[in-house]
Amino acid sequence: MTSATSATSATSATTPRASYQRCATCGTQYSDTDALARCVSCGGLLEVVHAPPLLRGAELRAVFAARRSDGPGSSSGVWRYHELVLPNGGAHVVSHPEGNTPLLARDRVSSYAGVSGLLLKHEGHNPTGSFKDRGMTVGVTQARRIGARAVACASTGNTSASLAAYAAQAGIPALVFVPAGQVATGKLAQSLAYGARTLLVKGDFDACLSLVQQASERLGIYLLNSINPFRIEGQKTIAIEALEQLGWDAPDWLVLPAGNLGNTAAFGKALREVHELGLIDRVPRIAAIQAEGAAPFASSFRHDFTTRPKVKAETVATAIKIGDPASFDRAVQAIRSTNGVVSTVSDAEILDAKAVVDASGVGCEPASAASVAGVRRLVKEGIIRPSDRVVAVLTGHVLKDPGALLRYHQETDPPPQFANPPVEIEPTIEAVERVLATGD
Ligand code: F0G
Protein backbone atom coordinates (compact mmCIF):
# COMPACT_ATOMS: atom_id res chain seq x y z
CA MET A 1 0.00 0.00 0.00
CA THR A 2 1.23 3.42 -0.82
CA SER A 3 0.58 6.74 0.81
CA ALA A 4 -2.50 7.95 -1.06
CA THR A 5 -4.50 4.77 -0.70
CA SER A 6 -6.73 5.94 2.09
CA ALA A 7 -7.62 9.08 0.12
CA THR A 8 -9.22 6.96 -2.55
CA SER A 9 -11.55 5.22 -0.13
CA ALA A 10 -12.17 8.08 2.26
CA THR A 11 -15.43 9.58 1.06
CA SER A 12 -17.91 7.12 -0.33
CA ALA A 13 -20.52 9.89 -0.66
CA THR A 14 -18.51 11.30 -3.54
CA THR A 15 -17.37 8.07 -5.15
CA PRO A 16 -19.01 7.47 -8.51
CA ARG A 17 -20.00 4.10 -9.86
CA ALA A 18 -17.79 3.52 -12.88
CA SER A 19 -15.25 4.82 -15.37
CA TYR A 20 -14.65 3.81 -18.96
CA GLN A 21 -12.45 4.76 -21.92
CA ARG A 22 -13.88 6.37 -25.06
CA CYS A 23 -12.32 7.18 -28.41
CA ALA A 24 -12.22 10.96 -28.72
CA THR A 25 -12.57 10.61 -32.51
CA CYS A 26 -15.25 7.98 -33.16
CA GLY A 27 -16.79 7.48 -29.72
CA THR A 28 -16.12 3.72 -29.43
CA GLN A 29 -16.16 2.72 -25.77
CA TYR A 30 -13.74 0.45 -23.92
CA SER A 31 -13.46 -0.82 -20.38
CA ASP A 32 -11.33 1.24 -18.00
CA THR A 33 -8.95 -1.69 -17.71
CA ASP A 34 -8.32 -2.27 -21.44
CA ALA A 35 -4.60 -1.72 -22.11
CA LEU A 36 -4.99 0.05 -25.44
CA ALA A 37 -2.67 2.72 -26.81
CA ARG A 38 -5.29 3.88 -29.34
CA CYS A 39 -8.80 3.14 -30.56
CA VAL A 40 -8.98 -0.26 -32.26
CA SER A 41 -11.64 0.95 -34.73
CA CYS A 42 -10.14 4.21 -36.00
CA GLY A 43 -6.71 4.70 -34.38
CA GLY A 44 -7.91 7.82 -32.52
CA LEU A 45 -6.75 8.78 -29.04
CA LEU A 46 -8.73 7.60 -26.04
CA GLU A 47 -10.08 9.61 -23.15
CA VAL A 48 -11.24 8.49 -19.73
CA VAL A 49 -14.80 9.24 -18.67
CA HIS A 50 -15.85 8.96 -15.03
CA ALA A 51 -19.38 8.86 -13.77
CA PRO A 52 -19.98 12.29 -12.23
CA PRO A 53 -19.34 12.47 -8.49
CA LEU A 54 -22.47 12.40 -6.34
CA LEU A 55 -21.66 15.86 -4.99
CA ARG A 56 -21.18 19.07 -6.96
CA GLY A 57 -20.38 22.75 -6.50
CA ALA A 58 -19.89 24.00 -2.95
CA GLU A 59 -20.33 20.52 -1.42
CA LEU A 60 -17.62 19.01 -3.59
CA ARG A 61 -15.37 22.00 -2.93
CA ALA A 62 -15.84 21.37 0.80
CA VAL A 63 -14.84 17.71 0.42
CA PHE A 64 -11.64 18.69 -1.42
CA ALA A 65 -10.88 21.37 1.17
CA ALA A 66 -11.36 18.96 4.07
CA ARG A 67 -8.88 16.52 2.55
CA ARG A 68 -6.12 19.11 2.74
CA SER A 69 -5.95 18.45 6.46
CA ASP A 70 -6.85 14.76 6.35
CA GLY A 71 -3.34 13.55 7.10
CA PRO A 72 -1.00 11.23 5.20
CA GLY A 73 -3.65 9.55 3.06
CA SER A 74 -4.55 12.84 1.40
CA SER A 75 -1.08 14.24 1.07
CA SER A 76 -1.07 13.94 -2.74
CA GLY A 77 -2.24 16.96 -4.72
CA VAL A 78 -3.44 14.51 -7.37
CA TRP A 79 -5.33 11.89 -5.36
CA ARG A 80 -7.06 14.51 -3.25
CA TYR A 81 -9.24 14.96 -6.34
CA HIS A 82 -9.59 11.24 -7.03
CA GLU A 83 -13.25 11.47 -8.13
CA LEU A 84 -12.08 13.54 -11.09
CA VAL A 85 -8.88 11.58 -11.73
CA LEU A 86 -9.30 7.84 -11.13
CA PRO A 87 -12.01 6.95 -8.65
CA ASN A 88 -11.17 3.25 -8.75
CA GLY A 89 -7.42 3.36 -8.07
CA GLY A 90 -7.93 1.84 -4.64
CA ALA A 91 -5.12 -0.31 -3.31
CA HIS A 92 -3.12 0.07 -6.54
CA VAL A 93 -2.29 3.74 -6.06
CA VAL A 94 1.41 4.51 -6.49
CA SER A 95 2.03 7.94 -4.99
CA HIS A 96 5.26 9.68 -3.99
CA PRO A 97 3.21 11.87 -3.08
CA GLU A 98 3.11 14.59 -5.74
CA GLY A 99 1.35 17.88 -6.50
CA ASN A 100 0.66 20.50 -3.80
CA THR A 101 2.86 22.87 -5.78
CA PRO A 102 2.98 26.56 -4.88
CA LEU A 103 1.37 29.51 -6.62
CA LEU A 104 4.01 32.20 -6.41
CA ALA A 105 3.86 35.97 -6.85
CA ARG A 106 7.18 37.63 -7.74
CA ASP A 107 7.23 41.38 -8.49
CA ARG A 108 10.26 41.11 -10.71
CA VAL A 109 8.63 38.52 -12.96
CA SER A 110 5.30 40.38 -12.98
CA SER A 111 6.85 43.64 -14.10
CA TYR A 112 8.96 41.85 -16.74
CA ALA A 113 5.87 40.15 -18.13
CA GLY A 114 3.79 43.32 -17.87
CA VAL A 115 0.98 41.85 -15.73
CA SER A 116 0.62 42.94 -12.12
CA GLY A 117 -1.56 39.97 -11.17
CA LEU A 118 0.80 37.29 -12.49
CA LEU A 119 1.09 34.06 -10.49
CA LEU A 120 3.53 31.25 -11.17
CA LYS A 121 2.26 27.70 -10.63
CA HIS A 122 5.56 25.95 -10.01
CA GLU A 123 5.35 22.35 -11.10
CA GLY A 124 9.11 22.00 -10.65
CA HIS A 125 8.27 21.35 -6.99
CA ASN A 126 7.05 17.86 -7.86
CA PRO A 127 9.17 14.89 -6.68
CA THR A 128 11.12 14.43 -9.92
CA GLY A 129 11.08 18.15 -10.69
CA SER A 130 8.35 18.44 -13.31
CA PHE A 131 4.59 18.29 -13.83
CA LYS A 132 4.96 14.83 -15.35
CA ASP A 133 4.68 13.29 -11.87
CA ARG A 134 1.00 14.24 -11.74
CA GLY A 135 0.27 12.18 -14.82
CA MET A 136 2.70 9.43 -13.96
CA THR A 137 1.24 8.64 -10.53
CA VAL A 138 -2.02 7.87 -12.34
CA GLY A 139 -0.38 6.14 -15.31
CA VAL A 140 1.69 3.81 -13.16
CA THR A 141 -1.29 3.17 -10.87
CA GLN A 142 -3.20 2.14 -13.99
CA ALA A 143 -0.27 -0.06 -15.05
CA ARG A 144 -0.60 -1.84 -11.73
CA ARG A 145 -4.38 -2.14 -12.00
CA ILE A 146 -4.09 -3.93 -15.30
CA GLY A 147 -1.08 -6.02 -14.23
CA ALA A 148 1.36 -4.56 -16.80
CA ARG A 149 4.63 -6.53 -16.88
CA ALA A 150 6.65 -3.52 -18.10
CA VAL A 151 6.09 0.15 -18.99
CA ALA A 152 7.64 2.38 -21.64
CA CYS A 153 7.72 5.93 -22.97
CA ALA A 154 9.45 8.19 -25.46
CA SER A 155 10.58 11.44 -23.97
CA THR A 156 12.44 14.71 -24.24
CA GLY A 157 13.59 13.90 -20.70
CA ASN A 158 11.00 14.76 -18.08
CA THR A 159 8.47 12.03 -18.81
CA SER A 160 11.28 9.48 -18.76
CA ALA A 161 12.61 10.78 -15.42
CA SER A 162 9.14 10.56 -13.95
CA LEU A 163 8.33 7.16 -15.42
CA ALA A 164 11.64 5.81 -14.15
CA ALA A 165 10.89 6.98 -10.61
CA TYR A 166 7.29 5.79 -10.40
CA ALA A 167 8.00 2.46 -12.08
CA ALA A 168 10.83 1.91 -9.59
CA GLN A 169 8.43 2.59 -6.73
CA ALA A 170 5.88 0.20 -8.21
CA GLY A 171 8.50 -2.47 -8.92
CA ILE A 172 7.68 -2.54 -12.64
CA PRO A 173 10.54 -2.58 -15.21
CA ALA A 174 10.70 0.63 -17.29
CA LEU A 175 12.04 1.18 -20.79
CA VAL A 176 12.63 4.73 -22.02
CA PHE A 177 13.40 6.05 -25.51
CA VAL A 178 15.12 9.44 -25.66
CA PRO A 179 16.72 11.35 -28.56
CA ALA A 180 20.49 10.87 -28.31
CA GLY A 181 22.35 14.07 -27.46
CA GLN A 182 19.16 16.12 -27.12
CA VAL A 183 18.17 15.51 -23.52
CA ALA A 184 19.19 17.90 -20.75
CA THR A 185 21.77 16.51 -18.33
CA GLY A 186 19.62 16.51 -15.20
CA LYS A 187 16.86 14.54 -16.91
CA LEU A 188 19.09 11.86 -18.43
CA ALA A 189 20.83 11.49 -15.08
CA GLN A 190 17.47 10.88 -13.36
CA SER A 191 16.43 8.16 -15.76
CA LEU A 192 19.70 6.29 -15.15
CA ALA A 193 19.57 6.88 -11.41
CA TYR A 194 16.03 5.54 -10.98
CA GLY A 195 17.00 2.43 -12.90
CA ALA A 196 15.10 2.66 -16.19
CA ARG A 197 16.50 0.81 -19.19
CA THR A 198 17.47 3.90 -21.19
CA LEU A 199 17.72 3.80 -24.97
CA LEU A 200 19.51 6.71 -26.67
CA VAL A 201 17.82 6.76 -30.05
CA LYS A 202 19.71 8.25 -33.00
CA GLY A 203 16.80 10.43 -34.05
CA ASP A 204 14.56 13.17 -32.71
CA PHE A 205 11.67 12.94 -30.22
CA ASP A 206 9.17 12.30 -32.99
CA ALA A 207 11.21 9.26 -34.10
CA CYS A 208 11.34 8.05 -30.48
CA LEU A 209 7.56 8.30 -30.14
CA SER A 210 6.96 6.33 -33.31
CA LEU A 211 9.46 3.67 -32.22
CA VAL A 212 8.07 3.25 -28.71
CA GLN A 213 4.56 2.79 -30.10
CA GLN A 214 5.76 -0.01 -32.35
CA ALA A 215 7.77 -1.55 -29.52
CA SER A 216 4.93 -1.45 -27.02
CA GLU A 217 2.57 -3.05 -29.51
CA ARG A 218 4.97 -5.79 -30.53
CA LEU A 219 6.35 -6.53 -27.07
CA GLY A 220 3.16 -6.02 -25.05
CA ILE A 221 4.65 -3.24 -22.94
CA TYR A 222 2.23 -0.71 -21.44
CA LEU A 223 2.72 2.69 -23.11
CA LEU A 224 2.90 5.66 -20.77
CA ASN A 225 3.34 8.62 -23.08
CA SER A 226 0.73 11.35 -22.74
CA ILE A 227 -1.34 9.70 -25.46
CA ASN A 228 -2.21 7.40 -22.54
CA PRO A 229 -5.50 8.88 -21.29
CA PHE A 230 -4.78 8.07 -17.63
CA ARG A 231 -1.75 10.40 -17.73
CA ILE A 232 -4.06 13.19 -18.86
CA GLU A 233 -6.36 12.53 -15.89
CA GLY A 234 -3.48 13.20 -13.48
CA GLN A 235 -2.25 16.27 -15.32
CA LYS A 236 -5.70 17.83 -15.06
CA THR A 237 -4.90 18.44 -11.40
CA ILE A 238 -2.41 21.22 -12.24
CA ALA A 239 -5.35 23.36 -13.30
CA ILE A 240 -7.71 22.00 -10.65
CA GLU A 241 -5.26 22.62 -7.82
CA ALA A 242 -4.47 26.14 -9.09
CA LEU A 243 -8.19 26.94 -9.18
CA GLU A 244 -8.64 25.61 -5.66
CA GLN A 245 -5.68 27.73 -4.48
CA LEU A 246 -7.48 30.74 -5.95
CA GLY A 247 -10.61 29.90 -3.96
CA TRP A 248 -12.23 28.63 -7.18
CA ASP A 249 -12.28 32.22 -8.43
CA ALA A 250 -11.04 31.52 -11.97
CA PRO A 251 -8.26 33.72 -13.38
CA ASP A 252 -8.58 35.28 -16.81
CA TRP A 253 -5.77 33.19 -18.29
CA LEU A 254 -3.89 29.94 -17.78
CA VAL A 255 -0.64 30.07 -19.74
CA LEU A 256 1.53 27.02 -20.39
CA PRO A 257 4.36 25.84 -22.64
CA ALA A 258 3.23 23.44 -25.34
CA GLY A 259 5.15 20.60 -27.00
CA ASN A 260 3.47 17.24 -27.46
CA LEU A 261 0.23 18.97 -26.34
CA GLY A 262 -0.77 16.47 -23.65
CA ASN A 263 -0.85 19.19 -21.04
CA THR A 264 -2.87 21.58 -23.19
CA ALA A 265 -5.37 18.76 -23.70
CA ALA A 266 -5.41 18.02 -19.96
CA PHE A 267 -6.09 21.67 -19.10
CA GLY A 268 -8.98 21.81 -21.56
CA LYS A 269 -10.53 18.64 -20.14
CA ALA A 270 -10.05 19.82 -16.55
CA LEU A 271 -11.67 23.18 -17.21
CA ARG A 272 -14.65 21.65 -18.99
CA GLU A 273 -15.21 19.20 -16.16
CA VAL A 274 -14.84 21.58 -13.21
CA HIS A 275 -17.15 24.05 -14.95
CA GLU A 276 -19.76 21.34 -15.55
CA LEU A 277 -19.52 20.30 -11.89
CA GLY A 278 -20.15 23.85 -10.75
CA LEU A 279 -16.72 24.20 -9.13
CA ILE A 280 -16.02 27.38 -11.14
CA ASP A 281 -18.46 29.92 -12.58
CA ARG A 282 -16.50 30.83 -15.67
CA VAL A 283 -13.76 29.19 -17.71
CA PRO A 284 -10.31 30.80 -17.93
CA ARG A 285 -8.77 31.17 -21.38
CA ILE A 286 -5.84 28.89 -22.18
CA ALA A 287 -2.75 30.37 -23.84
CA ALA A 288 -0.46 27.62 -25.19
CA ILE A 289 3.04 28.85 -25.98
CA GLN A 290 5.42 27.14 -28.40
CA ALA A 291 9.05 27.83 -29.26
CA GLU A 292 9.28 29.52 -32.67
CA GLY A 293 11.35 26.65 -34.08
CA ALA A 294 8.93 23.99 -32.87
CA ALA A 295 5.54 25.54 -33.48
CA PRO A 296 3.27 23.35 -35.63
CA PHE A 297 0.33 23.97 -33.30
CA ALA A 298 0.75 27.77 -33.37
CA SER A 299 0.97 27.71 -37.13
CA SER A 300 -2.22 25.66 -37.33
CA PHE A 301 -3.94 28.09 -34.93
CA ARG A 302 -3.11 30.95 -37.31
CA HIS A 303 -5.06 29.04 -39.97
CA ASP A 304 -8.02 28.44 -37.65
CA PHE A 305 -6.82 24.83 -37.18
CA THR A 306 -7.63 23.92 -40.78
CA THR A 307 -4.06 22.64 -41.29
CA ARG A 308 -1.99 20.09 -39.43
CA PRO A 309 1.63 20.87 -40.21
CA LYS A 310 4.64 18.83 -39.12
CA VAL A 311 7.98 20.56 -38.69
CA LYS A 312 11.60 19.61 -38.07
CA ALA A 313 11.82 21.03 -34.57
CA GLU A 314 14.71 23.21 -33.41
CA THR A 315 14.84 25.08 -30.11
CA VAL A 316 17.05 25.59 -27.07
CA ALA A 317 14.06 24.45 -24.97
CA THR A 318 14.66 20.74 -25.59
CA ALA A 319 11.61 19.72 -23.51
CA ILE A 320 9.31 21.13 -26.20
CA LYS A 321 11.45 20.32 -29.24
CA ILE A 322 8.64 18.42 -30.94
CA GLY A 323 7.59 18.68 -34.59
CA ASP A 324 4.55 16.39 -34.75
CA PRO A 325 2.59 16.64 -31.48
CA ALA A 326 0.60 13.52 -30.59
CA SER A 327 -2.28 15.21 -28.75
CA PHE A 328 -2.95 17.70 -31.55
CA ASP A 329 -6.70 17.10 -31.92
CA ARG A 330 -7.44 17.06 -28.21
CA ALA A 331 -5.46 20.29 -27.81
CA VAL A 332 -7.46 21.95 -30.60
CA GLN A 333 -10.57 21.14 -28.61
CA ALA A 334 -8.97 22.64 -25.47
CA ILE A 335 -8.16 25.91 -27.23
CA ARG A 336 -11.57 26.13 -28.89
CA SER A 337 -13.59 25.32 -25.77
CA THR A 338 -11.77 27.95 -23.70
CA ASN A 339 -11.62 30.68 -26.35
CA GLY A 340 -7.87 30.20 -26.04
CA VAL A 341 -4.89 31.28 -28.10
CA VAL A 342 -1.65 29.70 -29.29
CA SER A 343 1.45 31.85 -29.62
CA THR A 344 5.19 31.55 -30.12
CA VAL A 345 8.32 32.98 -28.54
CA SER A 346 11.91 32.98 -29.79
CA ASP A 347 14.75 31.13 -28.07
CA ALA A 348 16.20 34.49 -27.00
CA GLU A 349 12.89 35.46 -25.41
CA ILE A 350 12.72 32.08 -23.63
CA LEU A 351 16.23 32.42 -22.23
CA ASP A 352 15.76 36.02 -21.11
CA ALA A 353 12.45 35.16 -19.42
CA LYS A 354 14.14 32.20 -17.76
CA ALA A 355 16.95 34.43 -16.49
CA VAL A 356 14.37 36.77 -14.96
CA VAL A 357 12.46 33.89 -13.33
CA ASP A 358 15.75 32.44 -12.07
CA ALA A 359 16.99 35.77 -10.70
CA SER A 360 13.73 36.21 -8.82
CA GLY A 361 14.89 33.27 -6.71
CA VAL A 362 12.31 30.94 -8.23
CA GLY A 363 14.10 29.28 -11.14
CA CYS A 364 12.81 27.01 -13.89
CA GLU A 365 14.01 25.10 -16.93
CA PRO A 366 14.05 26.75 -20.39
CA ALA A 367 10.77 25.29 -21.71
CA SER A 368 8.97 26.44 -18.58
CA ALA A 369 10.01 30.03 -19.17
CA ALA A 370 8.15 29.96 -22.49
CA SER A 371 5.01 30.60 -20.45
CA VAL A 372 6.39 33.83 -18.93
CA ALA A 373 7.88 34.90 -22.27
CA GLY A 374 4.48 34.12 -23.79
CA VAL A 375 2.64 36.32 -21.29
CA ARG A 376 5.02 39.17 -22.12
CA ARG A 377 4.49 38.69 -25.86
CA LEU A 378 0.68 38.50 -25.51
CA VAL A 379 0.63 41.66 -23.37
CA LYS A 380 2.64 43.48 -26.03
CA GLU A 381 0.18 42.27 -28.66
CA GLY A 382 -2.76 43.54 -26.58
CA ILE A 383 -4.24 40.04 -26.16
CA ILE A 384 -3.58 39.79 -22.43
CA ARG A 385 -4.39 43.02 -20.57
CA PRO A 386 -1.95 44.26 -17.89
CA SER A 387 -4.83 44.15 -15.39
CA ASP A 388 -5.77 40.52 -16.19
CA ARG A 389 -5.34 37.79 -13.59
CA VAL A 390 -2.89 35.34 -15.12
CA VAL A 391 -1.49 32.00 -13.94
CA ALA A 392 1.64 30.95 -15.82
CA VAL A 393 2.74 27.37 -15.33
CA LEU A 394 6.42 26.70 -14.70
CA THR A 395 6.64 23.10 -15.79
CA GLY A 396 10.13 22.08 -14.65
CA HIS A 397 12.88 22.73 -12.10
CA VAL A 398 15.88 25.02 -12.66
CA LEU A 399 18.33 22.12 -12.16
CA LYS A 400 16.89 20.07 -15.01
CA ASP A 401 19.04 21.80 -17.62
CA PRO A 402 22.27 23.17 -16.12
CA GLY A 403 23.88 23.15 -19.57
CA ALA A 404 21.54 25.77 -21.05
CA LEU A 405 21.86 27.83 -17.91
CA LEU A 406 25.67 27.93 -17.89
CA ARG A 407 25.82 28.65 -21.62
CA TYR A 408 23.59 31.71 -21.07
CA HIS A 409 25.54 33.11 -18.15
CA GLN A 410 29.13 32.35 -19.06
CA GLU A 411 29.51 31.26 -22.65
CA THR A 412 27.34 33.52 -24.83
CA ASP A 413 29.11 36.29 -26.68
CA PRO A 414 28.06 39.06 -26.52
CA PRO A 415 26.62 38.39 -23.06
CA PRO A 416 22.81 38.38 -23.09
CA GLN A 417 20.77 41.01 -21.24
CA PHE A 418 20.56 39.21 -17.89
CA ALA A 419 23.86 37.31 -17.91
CA ASN A 420 25.50 36.87 -14.52
CA PRO A 421 28.93 35.47 -15.39
CA PRO A 422 31.18 34.17 -12.61
CA VAL A 423 34.46 36.03 -12.00
CA GLU A 424 37.72 34.14 -11.60
CA ILE A 425 40.13 35.80 -9.13
CA GLU A 426 43.45 35.35 -7.39
CA PRO A 427 43.04 34.22 -3.77
CA THR A 428 43.68 37.70 -2.32
CA ILE A 429 41.50 40.22 -0.52
CA GLU A 430 42.62 42.91 -2.99
CA ALA A 431 41.18 40.89 -5.82
CA VAL A 432 37.87 40.65 -3.97
CA GLU A 433 37.90 44.40 -3.34
CA ARG A 434 38.67 45.10 -7.00
CA VAL A 435 35.70 43.01 -8.11
CA LEU A 436 33.37 44.73 -5.67
CA ALA A 437 34.65 48.20 -6.64
CA THR A 438 34.23 47.75 -10.36
CA GLY A 439 31.13 45.65 -10.25
CA ASP A 440 32.82 43.46 -12.87
N1 F0G B 1 7.49 21.78 -20.18
C2 F0G B 1 8.30 20.78 -19.87
C3 F0G B 1 9.33 21.02 -18.82
C4 F0G B 1 8.17 19.53 -20.50
O5 F0G B 1 8.99 18.54 -20.16
C6 F0G B 1 7.19 19.36 -21.50
C7 F0G B 1 7.04 18.10 -22.20
C8 F0G B 1 6.36 20.44 -21.79
C9 F0G B 1 6.53 21.64 -21.12
C10 F0G B 1 5.30 20.37 -22.82
O11 F0G B 1 4.22 19.60 -22.41
O12 F0G B 1 4.28 17.90 -24.21
O13 F0G B 1 2.31 18.13 -22.71
O14 F0G B 1 2.82 19.85 -24.42
N15 F0G B 1 7.82 17.13 -22.08
C16 F0G B 1 7.63 15.80 -22.66
C17 F0G B 1 8.66 14.83 -22.13
C18 F0G B 1 7.47 15.79 -24.11
O19 F0G B 1 8.94 13.84 -22.79
O20 F0G B 1 9.17 15.04 -21.03
P21 F0G B 1 3.34 18.82 -23.50
Tell me, in angstroms, the distance from the centre of ligand 1 to residue 71's CA: 31
Spatial separation of the C-alpha atoms in residues 356 and 159, rounded to whole Å: 26
Tell me, in angstroms, the distance from the centre of ligand 1 to residue 388's CA: 26
* Per-residue pLDDT band at 320 (split at 50, 70, 90): very high
Query: What is the position in ligand 1's atom list of the atom closest to the CA of 266?
Result: 13
Over residues 96-120, the pLDDT tens digits come to 999 999 999 999 999 999 999 999 9
Tell me, in angstroms, the distance from the centre of ligand 1 to residue 157's CA: 8
Query: Across the strands, what pairs with 154?
Result: 177
Tell me, in angstroms, the distance from the centre of ligand 1 to residue 427's CA: 44
Supply the residue whose CA is at minimum distance from atom 6 of ligand 1: 319
Average predicted confidence (pLDDT) for the chain: 94
Pick from 320, 324, 335 the residue to mutate for probing ligand 1's pocket: most ligand atoms within 8 Å of its CB: 320
Over residues 7-66, the pLDDT tens digits come to 333 334 455 458 999 999 999 999 999 999 899 999 999 999 999 999 999 999 999 999
* Per-residue pLDDT band at 393 (split at 50, 70, 90): very high
Q: Write down the pLDDT at residue 158.
A: 98
Q: Write down the pLDDT at residue 298.
A: 98
Q: Write down the pLDDT at residue 11.
A: 39
Q: Write down the pLDDT at residue 89.
A: 84
Is pLDDT at 6 greater than 50 in this prediction?
A: no
> Span 274-292, mean pLDDT?
98
Q: Write down the pLDDT at residue 247.
A: 98
CATH level 3 topology of 103-128+229-411: Rossmann fold (3.40.50)
Q: Write down the pLDDT at residue 74.
A: 65
Check if the beta carbon of residue 392 is closer than 8 Å to that of residue 120: yes
Is pLDDT at 431 greater than 90 in this prediction?
A: yes
Query: What is the position in ligand 1's atom list of the atom closest to the CA of 256?
Result: 9
Over residues 290-311, the pLDDT tens digits come to 999 999 999 999 999 999 999 9
* Per-residue pLDDT band at 316 (split at 50, 70, 90): very high
Q: Where are the domains of the chain?
A: 103-128+229-411
